[in-house]
Chains A and B, each alone.
Chain A
Amino acid sequence: EPEVTQTPSHQVTQMGQEVILRCVPISNHLYFYWYRQILGQKVEFLVSFYNNEISEKSEIFDDQFSVERPDGSNFTLKIRSTKLEDSAMYFCASSEDRSGYTFGSGTRLTVV
Protein backbone atom coordinates (compact mmCIF):
# COMPACT_ATOMS: atom_id res chain seq x y z
CA GLU A 1 0.00 0.00 0.00
CA PRO A 2 1.37 3.47 -0.87
CA GLU A 3 2.69 5.42 2.06
CA VAL A 4 4.00 8.83 3.01
CA THR A 5 7.64 8.67 4.06
CA GLN A 6 9.20 11.10 6.51
CA THR A 7 12.84 11.59 7.44
CA PRO A 8 14.45 11.75 9.86
CA SER A 9 12.33 9.91 12.40
CA HIS A 10 13.95 11.84 15.23
CA GLN A 11 15.90 15.08 15.13
CA VAL A 12 17.60 16.78 18.03
CA THR A 13 18.69 20.35 17.50
CA GLN A 14 19.98 23.22 19.56
CA MET A 15 17.79 26.24 20.14
CA GLY A 16 18.37 28.82 17.43
CA GLN A 17 19.41 26.32 14.79
CA GLU A 18 17.58 25.68 11.54
CA VAL A 19 16.05 22.29 10.76
CA ILE A 20 14.60 20.80 7.61
CA LEU A 21 12.06 18.05 7.87
CA ARG A 22 11.57 15.96 4.77
CA CYS A 23 8.60 14.14 3.34
CA VAL A 24 7.94 12.04 0.27
CA PRO A 25 4.18 12.13 -0.39
CA ILE A 26 2.29 9.46 -2.29
CA SER A 27 3.19 9.88 -5.93
CA ASN A 28 -0.20 10.65 -7.48
CA HIS A 29 -1.35 12.93 -4.67
CA LEU A 30 -1.77 16.62 -5.35
CA TYR A 31 -2.38 18.14 -1.92
CA PHE A 32 0.26 18.24 0.77
CA TYR A 33 0.10 19.20 4.41
CA TRP A 34 2.16 19.64 7.52
CA TYR A 35 0.67 19.09 10.96
CA ARG A 36 2.28 19.02 14.35
CA GLN A 37 1.42 17.40 17.66
CA ILE A 38 2.95 18.67 20.86
CA LEU A 39 3.21 15.86 23.41
CA GLY A 40 -0.15 15.25 25.03
CA GLN A 41 -1.96 17.75 22.80
CA LYS A 42 -4.13 17.49 19.72
CA VAL A 43 -2.89 17.32 16.17
CA GLU A 44 -2.71 20.89 14.79
CA PHE A 45 -2.76 22.06 11.20
CA LEU A 46 0.25 24.08 10.05
CA VAL A 47 0.04 24.52 6.29
CA SER A 48 -1.44 23.13 3.11
CA PHE A 49 0.27 23.21 -0.28
CA TYR A 50 -1.15 22.75 -3.74
CA ASN A 51 0.09 23.55 -7.22
CA ASN A 52 3.46 24.69 -5.89
CA GLU A 53 2.10 27.25 -3.52
CA ILE A 54 0.68 27.56 -0.04
CA SER A 55 -3.11 27.30 -0.13
CA GLU A 56 -3.72 27.87 3.56
CA LYS A 57 -1.67 28.33 6.71
CA SER A 58 -2.48 28.52 10.39
CA GLU A 59 -1.50 31.27 12.78
CA ILE A 60 1.21 28.93 14.07
CA PHE A 61 2.87 29.01 10.64
CA ASP A 62 4.63 32.34 10.97
CA ASP A 63 7.79 33.66 9.31
CA GLN A 64 9.85 31.11 11.18
CA PHE A 65 8.39 28.37 8.97
CA SER A 66 8.59 27.72 5.26
CA VAL A 67 7.68 24.88 2.92
CA GLU A 68 9.09 23.80 -0.39
CA ARG A 69 8.59 21.20 -3.01
CA PRO A 70 12.10 21.29 -4.44
CA ASP A 71 11.52 18.51 -6.96
CA GLY A 72 8.74 16.24 -8.11
CA SER A 73 8.82 13.99 -5.08
CA ASN A 74 9.99 15.76 -1.93
CA PHE A 75 8.08 18.17 0.29
CA THR A 76 10.01 19.93 3.03
CA LEU A 77 9.27 21.97 6.13
CA LYS A 78 11.99 24.35 7.23
CA ILE A 79 12.00 25.81 10.72
CA ARG A 80 14.40 28.70 11.17
CA SER A 81 15.86 29.65 14.54
CA THR A 82 14.17 26.85 16.47
CA LYS A 83 12.68 27.48 19.90
CA LEU A 84 12.10 25.11 22.78
CA GLU A 85 8.35 25.23 22.13
CA ASP A 86 8.88 23.91 18.60
CA SER A 87 9.55 20.49 20.13
CA ALA A 88 6.79 18.25 18.80
CA MET A 89 5.95 15.47 16.38
CA TYR A 90 5.67 16.86 12.88
CA PHE A 91 3.48 14.95 10.47
CA CYS A 92 3.37 15.25 6.73
CA ALA A 93 0.17 14.22 4.95
CA SER A 94 -0.93 13.99 1.36
CA SER A 95 -4.24 13.63 -0.37
CA GLU A 96 -5.43 12.94 -3.86
CA ASP A 97 -8.59 15.02 -3.57
CA ARG A 98 -8.55 16.74 -0.14
CA SER A 99 -10.23 13.79 1.51
CA GLY A 100 -8.87 10.56 2.90
CA TYR A 101 -5.54 12.04 3.91
CA THR A 102 -2.58 9.71 4.40
CA PHE A 103 -0.17 10.64 7.16
CA GLY A 104 3.48 9.77 7.50
CA SER A 105 4.92 8.30 10.69
CA GLY A 106 6.22 11.67 11.74
CA THR A 107 9.47 13.33 12.74
CA ARG A 108 10.01 13.84 16.42
CA LEU A 109 11.75 17.18 16.82
CA THR A 110 13.48 17.87 20.10
CA VAL A 111 14.90 21.36 20.63
CA VAL A 112 17.41 21.59 23.47
Chain B
Amino acid sequence: QKEVEQDPGPLSVPEGAIVSLNCTYSNSAFQYFMWYRQYSRKGPELLMYTYSSGNKEDGRFTAQVDKSSKYISLFIRDSQPSDSATYLCATTDSWGKLQFGAGTQVVVTP
Protein backbone atom coordinates (compact mmCIF):
# COMPACT_ATOMS: atom_id res chain seq x y z
CA GLN B 1 0.00 0.00 0.00
CA LYS B 2 1.35 3.40 -0.97
CA GLU B 3 1.90 5.68 2.00
CA VAL B 4 0.38 8.70 0.26
CA GLU B 5 -2.17 8.39 -2.53
CA GLN B 6 -2.96 11.25 -4.87
CA ASP B 7 -4.88 11.28 -8.13
CA PRO B 8 -2.42 12.44 -10.85
CA GLY B 9 -5.12 14.15 -12.91
CA PRO B 10 -4.94 16.16 -15.07
CA LEU B 11 -7.59 18.38 -13.57
CA SER B 12 -8.83 21.08 -15.91
CA VAL B 13 -10.93 23.98 -14.62
CA PRO B 14 -12.04 27.32 -16.08
CA GLU B 15 -10.55 30.51 -14.72
CA GLY B 16 -12.34 31.67 -11.59
CA ALA B 17 -13.47 28.20 -10.54
CA ILE B 18 -12.54 26.48 -7.29
CA VAL B 19 -9.82 23.86 -7.59
CA SER B 20 -10.25 20.95 -5.21
CA LEU B 21 -7.33 18.59 -4.59
CA ASN B 22 -7.03 15.75 -2.14
CA CYS B 23 -4.80 13.00 -0.83
CA THR B 24 -5.13 10.07 1.50
CA TYR B 25 -2.41 8.63 3.67
CA SER B 26 -2.01 5.36 5.48
CA ASN B 27 0.37 5.97 8.38
CA SER B 28 -1.15 7.32 11.58
CA ALA B 29 2.33 8.49 12.64
CA PHE B 30 2.28 11.28 10.08
CA GLN B 31 1.99 14.56 11.95
CA TYR B 32 2.75 17.34 9.49
CA PHE B 33 0.95 17.94 6.25
CA MET B 34 2.08 20.11 3.39
CA TRP B 35 1.05 21.18 -0.05
CA TYR B 36 3.67 22.07 -2.61
CA ARG B 37 3.32 23.58 -6.05
CA GLN B 38 5.74 22.45 -8.74
CA TYR B 39 6.20 24.00 -12.13
CA SER B 40 7.77 21.93 -14.88
CA ARG B 41 11.43 21.07 -14.19
CA LYS B 42 11.46 23.25 -11.05
CA GLY B 43 11.70 22.44 -7.37
CA PRO B 44 8.62 22.04 -5.17
CA GLU B 45 7.48 25.33 -3.63
CA LEU B 46 5.79 25.21 -0.24
CA LEU B 47 2.24 26.56 -0.32
CA MET B 48 0.68 25.43 2.91
CA TYR B 49 1.82 23.66 6.02
CA THR B 50 -0.43 22.38 8.77
CA TYR B 51 -0.11 20.22 11.83
CA SER B 52 -3.53 19.68 13.28
CA SER B 53 -6.89 18.58 11.96
CA GLY B 54 -9.05 21.38 10.66
CA ASN B 55 -8.74 24.20 8.18
CA LYS B 56 -5.95 26.63 7.49
CA GLU B 57 -6.42 29.54 5.15
CA ASP B 58 -3.86 31.67 3.33
CA GLY B 59 -5.24 34.05 0.75
CA ARG B 60 -6.94 32.03 -1.97
CA PHE B 61 -5.66 28.74 -0.55
CA THR B 62 -7.33 26.60 2.11
CA ALA B 63 -5.75 23.42 3.45
CA GLN B 64 -7.90 20.91 5.26
CA VAL B 65 -6.77 17.92 7.32
CA ASP B 66 -8.98 15.16 8.72
CA LYS B 67 -6.75 12.87 10.75
CA SER B 68 -9.60 10.55 11.65
CA SER B 69 -10.07 9.59 8.01
CA LYS B 70 -6.44 10.28 6.99
CA TYR B 71 -7.57 12.71 4.32
CA ILE B 72 -6.00 16.02 3.33
CA SER B 73 -7.33 18.60 0.90
CA LEU B 74 -6.32 21.82 -0.79
CA PHE B 75 -8.80 24.29 -2.21
CA ILE B 76 -7.83 27.13 -4.52
CA ARG B 77 -10.46 29.85 -4.87
CA ASP B 78 -10.78 32.16 -7.85
CA SER B 79 -8.28 30.10 -9.82
CA GLN B 80 -6.00 31.85 -12.30
CA PRO B 81 -4.10 30.54 -15.34
CA SER B 82 -0.92 31.13 -13.31
CA ASP B 83 -2.14 28.46 -10.88
CA SER B 84 -1.57 25.87 -13.60
CA ALA B 85 1.05 23.55 -12.14
CA THR B 86 1.44 20.21 -10.44
CA TYR B 87 0.33 20.18 -6.81
CA LEU B 88 2.01 17.76 -4.45
CA CYS B 89 0.75 16.72 -1.07
CA ALA B 90 3.38 15.62 1.43
CA THR B 91 3.41 14.31 4.96
CA THR B 92 6.04 13.56 7.53
CA ASP B 93 6.40 11.82 10.84
CA SER B 94 8.55 13.12 13.66
CA TRP B 95 11.77 12.23 11.84
CA GLY B 96 11.18 14.73 9.11
CA LYS B 97 11.38 12.54 5.99
CA LEU B 98 8.74 13.74 3.55
CA GLN B 99 6.46 11.27 1.84
CA PHE B 100 5.04 12.75 -1.33
CA GLY B 101 1.97 11.96 -3.30
CA ALA B 102 2.27 11.48 -7.03
CA GLY B 103 1.15 15.07 -7.69
CA THR B 104 -1.98 16.33 -9.44
CA GLN B 105 -1.54 18.31 -12.63
CA VAL B 106 -3.89 21.30 -12.66
CA VAL B 107 -4.73 23.27 -15.79
CA VAL B 108 -6.67 26.53 -15.42
CA THR B 109 -8.04 27.64 -18.76
CA PRO B 110 -8.70 31.34 -19.48
Contacts and interface: CB of A to CB of B under 8 A. Distances in A.
- The prevalent SS among residues of A at the interface is strand
Contact of A48 (B41, B90, B94, B95): B95
Nearest to B97: A45
B43 interface: yes
A44 B101 CA distance: 10
B43 A104 contact: yes
B32 interface: yes
Contacts, number: 67
Interface residues of B, number: 24
B97 A89 contact: no
B97 A102 contact: no
A17 to B, nearest CB: 23
Given A91-B43, A103-B44, A106-B42, A48 B97 contact: yes
A43 B100 contact: yes
A27 B14 CA distance: 41
Interface string A12-53: 000000000000000000010101000001111100100000
A101 B53 CA distance: 20
Given A42-B101, A42-B102, A43-B88, A98 B43 contact: no
Interface of A: 4, 6, 31, 33, 35, 41-45, 48, 55-56, 58, 89, 91, 93, 95, 98-106, 108
Query: When A and B form their complex, which 7 residue pairs have the shortest distance between CB atoms, in order from nearest?
Result: A98-B96, A103-B43, A43-B100, A105-B43, A103-B44, A42-B102, A106-B43
